[in-house]
Amino acid sequence: MVVKVINESANKLPRFETPGAAGADVRADFSRIAKFPIKVYGGAEVISAGEAHEKVMIKLTPHSRALIPTGLFMAVPEGYEMQVRPRSGLALKEGLTVLNTPGTIDSDYRGEVCVIIINTSNEDKFIEDGERIAQILLKKAQQFNWEEVETLDETERGAGGFGHSGKK
């Protein structure tokens, strides 16, 4: 499967880090923030250093979030979606995760791929330009039709919901 992509960042294209990896890692792109400001919420802030603002980072205070640009624009094949998911190590070790996981990039979307990152920890965290922030997976997606009915077929589970089967 081939996905057409425009890369406006200075980063490499997303890649699968191991032969058995299901997701390809995407990186933060802060190279264009003078033209396209980064959206931050809840105490997050953009930090730039140097006279030419050559070093940019995002500071995420506890429980704040930011819309992180990737510099990638893609044409997801029809009948598929690109899912944006957290990187497990970043979530476990740093408390940084994708807020709307999995995020969906529809096959008809042509804008920049951005990732909503939230700091779930109780410490300030920093995201640097070029840092791997999430992973993307290409998944089959199918539209469907609704059929309104009066009843649904019975199952053993029935309406048992969250925690219905216990812990063990």
Whether cis (ω within 30° of 0) applies to the bond prior to 102 is: yes
Domain range for 122: 25-140
Q: Over its length of 168 residues, how does the chain's per-residue pLDDT go in tens digits?
A: 999 999 999 999 999 999 999 999 999 999 888 777 888 889 888 887 655 556 789 999 999 999 999 999 999 999 999 999 999 999 999 999 999 999 999 999 999 999 999 999 999 999 999 999 999 999 999 999 999 999 999 988 878 777 767 777
Please count the other Cβ atoms lying within 10 Å of the Cβ belonging to residue 98. 22
* CATH number, domain containing residue 117: 2.70.40.10
Instruction: Give the global pTM.
Output: 0.86
Of 54, 62, 71, 34, the closest CA to residue 126 belongs to 62
Q: Can the peptide bond before residue 77 be classed as cis, meaning omega within 30 degrees of 0?
A: no
Specify the pairing of strand 96-98 against strand 65-75: unpaired
Could you tell me if residue 136 is inside a domain? yes
Total tally of structural domains belonging to the chain: 1
For residue 18, give the amino acid letter: T
Q: If we measure between CA atoms, which residue out of 63, 64, 84 comes closest to residue 134? A: 84
In 3D space, the residue among 89, 162, 165, 100 whose CA is nearest the CA of residue 132 turns out to be 89
Yes or no: say if 69 and 27 are a contact pair by the CB < 8 Å rule.
Answer: no
Task: Tell me if 3 is assigned to some domain.
Answer: no
Asked whether residue 89 is domain-assigned, the answer is yes
In a domain, 158, yes or no: no
